Amino acid sequence: MSRQYKTTITSVWLLAVGFIIINGLVALRLIDEYTTQVLTIGGINVIIALSLNLISGFTGQLALGHAGFMAVGAYTTAALIMQLNVPTFLAILAGGLMSALFGLVIGLPTLRLHGDYLAIVTLGFGEIIRVIMINLSDITGGPAGLKGIPPFTTNFFWRPVLSFALVQLFLILVIIMLSNLIKSSPGCAIISVREDEIAANAMGINVFYYKIFAFTLSAFIAGLGGGLYAPFFGYLNPNMFNFLKSVEFLIIVVLGGMGNITGTVLAGFGLTYLQEFLRFLKDYRLVIYPLILILMMLFQPAGLMGIFGNKEFSLTGFVRNLKRKQIFRRRSASDKAGDHQ
Amino acid sequence: MTVLKTENVSILFGGLMAVSKLNLELKEGELVGLIGPNGAGKTTVFNMLTGVYKPTSGSIVIKSKNRQFQSIIKLHPYQITRLGMARTFQNIRLFRNLSVLDNVRIANHFNAKYNTLEAILRLPSFYKEEKRIKEDSMELLKIFNLQHKSKELAKNLPYGEQRQLEIVRALATKPHILLLDEPAAGMNPQETQELMDLIRSIKEQFKLTILLIEHDMNLVMGICQRIIVLDYGRVIAQGAPAEISKNQMVIKAYLGKEMENDA
């Protein structure tokens, strides 16, 4: 077996062990229920912020309506579970697909244009979705919201554990999918669209196709995030998915660094935790967000990961490094043994 | 053997006839220079040939990779590149924030024989193709002596090397027709000389037909087999370099009309 696969297998193994350990801690309540809940919300936020990063950070097309895609995913999932008794897992996937469909329909006319049209259209889309959800009261419960969405499990002990595990599992899958995509040739094509559309086109890259592809995939992932949110939170209200929610995701992306997956993950969990941590400031905590953003733009415009040269954390790279050091150590040990003789 | 032919190609920008009734023919293996004073419409011709602008009237056909003639009037730039005609840009358009290697890899993209799903799932076909693409790209960089800079960001290269990287990137699309838009702009005489040798050698090595726009007359007269002179969107002369340099119309276009004697 090649070294590449061995490294991959070791990484997967490490990831699985880490995943089981952290879930064990959650199940044993060594991580308390409050923290678990914050981490779960954080995970959902990161999933949606990553989807936004794909279209805005990697493809360079500013989108301002990701709360709308989240809403489509959340309401689709909730409706399927409540009205048609679809299994939760399938309903979440259906939420993602429905959101992707919306992405495709919005993207087809707008992504042909250059510049910031997508930002304006997605901004409008987010608001339209919100208004539709308010008025479609048969399915969505209208402005009063949708109550009593069945959770992942009714068992009180397992509910937080299962929510946490499922969200983190989806998060890991999304991260693997995105980073594999970005590092491959299609990913290069996506990034080239951001760098220079005209040059990308002249290099044989179907710019429009890759914009549509990235936007639809982005909508799909945001829909999944929304789909996870519905059964986890148990209650949906159209006003949860307003423009400010979209901006929140954008702030995570900008803060972590446009086009950096590691940064989005760190900023997503960080900001979610900060929001909870600062509750004692009451309404003033809303000042902290823009303040961080202003300071960031002044001193570190490339985002959090800009400090580290915009590098990505790579598990396989980490494993490779460890192995190299180990080999080095073994060699130096045998050298020393040789000296003694 | 003709590889590119335009017939009565014209383009209007508003009321301005930028290029009018252009008839151009490139034969296989030729190295043709397109010259003319500023604003003559040279880059507009390039943009029409590569699909960036759609001509108002006229036809353009090229011989594609499978040796069939094809009209490219309705094609997008990326489709034309895939048929085997690549270009460089007058104002460098590299992917500035990406590494030198990635710049070349991107040009290899449409040749990659794996799809997005295989890439996400990291199937063996992905590793195999990525390896091939990387080797091909490094091979090309070696020709231009850029291989030791493959990991540097494109924007950190010196100007001359950025220009060369643009050519490498165009070659990575495996073209048989190459359009160079002022390849020597901003280069010093030494670099221009090296570039001339380079253009000659890649033309032989990759069996290219080259059309280039250039203001540096040393370069144009030195390597072009045939020169086409454009002024106000019209071809005013074409022929071998020696003829062109003596052509009264060309001299007039470049230097202006001689003053009438006051007598």
Residue pLDDT, tens place only, A210-224? 999 999 999 999 999
Asked if residue B88 has pLDDT above 80, the reply is yes
Identity of the residue in B77, B81, B106 whose CB atom sits nearest the CB atom of A189: B106
Q: Does A152 lie in the same domain as A172?
A: yes
The CATH number of the domain where B202 resides is what? 3.40.50.300
Residue B69 placed within a domain: yes
Q: What integer is the mean pLDDT of B190-204?
A: 89
Same structural domain, A263 and A339:
no
Using alpha carbons, select from B170, B148, B151 the residue that is nearest to residue B88.
B170
Parallel/antiparallel/unpaired status of strands B177-181 and B2-13: unpaired
**A167 and A196 housed in the same domain:** yes
C-alpha distance from residue A329 to each of A10, A333, A335, B132 (Å): 19, 6, 10, 34
Q: From CA A316, how far away is CA A110, in angstroms rounded?
A: 38
Average the pLDDT over A38-58 and give the result.
Answer: 94
Which chain B residue has its CA at the smallest distance from A204's CA?
A: B78
B116 touches chain A (CB under 8 A): yes
Q: Are residues A320 and A273 both part of a single domain? A: no
Same domain, A48 and A166: yes
Residue A69 to chain B, least CA–CA distance (Å): 23
- Using CB atoms, pick whichever of B77, B98, B133 lies closest to residue A201: B77
A204–B119 C-beta distance less than 8 A: no
Least confident stretch, A46-55, A131-140, A306-315, B151-160: A306-315
Query: Positive or negative CA dihedral for A320, A326, A331, A332?
Result: positive
| Nearest residue to B254 (alpha-carbon basis) of B29, B35, B6 | B35
CA separation, residue A162 to residues A36, A90, A169, A270 (Å): 11, 16, 10, 22
What pLDDT digit, counting tens, does each position of A158-203 carry?
888 899 999 999 999 999 999 999 988 899 999 999 999 999 999 9
B53/chain A closest Cα distance in angstroms: 12
- Is residue B139 in some structural domain? no
Nearest to A60 by CA among A174, A217, A250, A211: A211
Residue A341 has pLDDT above 70, yes or no: no
Do A188 and B121 lie within an 8 Å CB cutoff? no
List, as one string, the DSSP characters of B110-135. GG----HHHHHHT-HHHHHHHHHHHH
Domain-embedded: residue B159: no
Tell whether B119 lies on the interface with A, counting CB pairs under 8 A. yes
Q: Which domain holds residue A61?
A: 32-310
Q: Are residues A181 and A105 in the same domain?
A: yes
pLDDT of residue A94: 95
User: pLDDT per residue over A244-280, tens digit each?
Assistant: 899 889 989 998 888 889 999 999 999 998 888 888 8
Q: What is the ipTM of this complex?
A: 0.88
For chain A, say whether B91 makes contact (Cβ under 8 Å).
Answer: no
Give B127's contacts (C-beta < 8 A, 6+ positions apart).
A4
Judging contacts by C-beta atoms under 8 Å, the chain B residues touching residue A203 are: 78, 81, 86, 106-107, 109, 169-170, 172-173
> Cβ contact (<8 Å) for A198 and B52?
yes
- How many residue pairs bridge chain A and chain B with CB atoms within 8 Å of each other? 102
Q: Please give the angle made by the CA atoms of B218, B220 and B223, to the nearest 5 degrees.
A: 100
The CA distance from A338 to the nearest CA of chain B, in Å, is 38
Average pLDDT over residues A316-338: 64
Q: Is residue B124 part of a domain?
A: no
Residues A202 and A338 in one domain: no
Phi, psi dihedral angles at B102 (to 5 degrees): -60, -35
Three-state DSSP class for residue B36? coil
CB contact at 8 A, B236 and B40: no
Mutate to test the interface with B, among A203, A210, A261, A312 (most CBs of B within 10 A): A203
Question: Is residue A338 very low, low, confident or very high in pLDDT (cuts 50, 70, 90)?
Answer: very low
Residue B42 lies in a domain: yes
> Which residue of A184, A206, A221, A260 is the best one to mutate when testing the B interface, meaning the one whose CB has the most B CBs within 10 A?
A184
Question: Closest residue of B to A184, CA-based?
Answer: B119
B35 within some domain: yes
From the list A181, A195, A203, the residue facing B107 with the nearest CB is A203
CATH assignment of the domain containing A270: 1.10.3470
Q: At what angle do helices A207-233 and A88-110 cross, to 10 degrees?
A: 150
Mean pLDDT over B200-221 rounds to 89
| Helix and strand element counts for chain A (H, E) | 14, 0
Nearest to B106 by CA among B134, B76, B145: B134
The pLDDT value recorded for residue A268 is 93
How many domains in chain A?
2
What's the whole-number mean pLDDT along residues A236-248? 89
Q: Which residues from chain A sit within 8 angstroms of residue B81, using beta carbons?
A: 201-204
Using the predicted structure, report yes or no on whether residue A18 has a pLDDT greater than 50: yes
How many Å lie between the alpha carbon of B137 and the closest alpha carbon of chain A?
A: 13
What count of Cα atoms within 13 Å lies in the side-chain half-sphere of residue A308?
Answer: 10
Kindly determine whether residue A181 and residue B116, on different chains, have CB atoms separated by under 8 Å: yes
Mean pLDDT of B62-82: 88
Q: Are residue A2 and residue A92 in the same domain, yes or no?
A: no
C-alpha separations of A52 from A49, A181, A296, B250 in Å: 5, 15, 19, 56
Q: At CB < 8 Å, which residues of chain A contact B?
A: 4, 8, 177, 180-181, 184-189, 191-192, 195-196, 198-207, 213
Instruction: Give the one of A187, A195, A204 whose C-beta lies nearest to B107's C-beta.
Output: A204
| Paired tokens of A178 | 């995105």
In SS3 terms, A129-162 reads as HHHHHHHCHHHHCHHHCECCCCCCCCCCCHHHHH
**A210 and A158: one domain?**
yes
Do A61 and A189 lie in one domain? The reply is yes
A116/A242 same-domain check = yes
Report chain A residues whose CB lies below 8 A from the CB of B122.
Answer: 8, 180
Among B12-21, B67-76, B112-121, which stretch is predicted with the lowest mean pLDDT?
A: B112-121
Contact call for residues B33 and B199 (beta carbons, < 8 A): no
d(CA A270, CA A68): 23
Give B19's strand partners.
Answer: B11
User: What are the CA-CA distances from residue B154 to residues A36, A242, A260 (Å)?
Assistant: 44, 41, 19
- Check whether residue A213 and residue A330 sit in a common domain: no
Whether A325 has a pLDDT exceeding 80, the answer reads: no
Question: Could you tell me if B210 lies within 8 Å of chain A, comparing CB atoms?
Answer: no
**Minimum CA–CA partner of B90 in chain A:** A199
Interatomic CA distance for residues B145 and B138, integer angstroms: 10
pTM: 0.90
**Closest-CA residue in chain A for B171?**
A203
Structural domains in chain B (count): 1
B93 in contact with A, Cβ within 8 Å = yes
In a domain, B184, yes or no: yes
Full residue range of the structural domain in which residue B45 is found: 2-97+169-255
Contact check, Cβ <8 Å, B119/A199: no
Please tell me the predicted confidence (pLDDT) of residue A91: 94
> Domain for residue B120, yes or no?
no
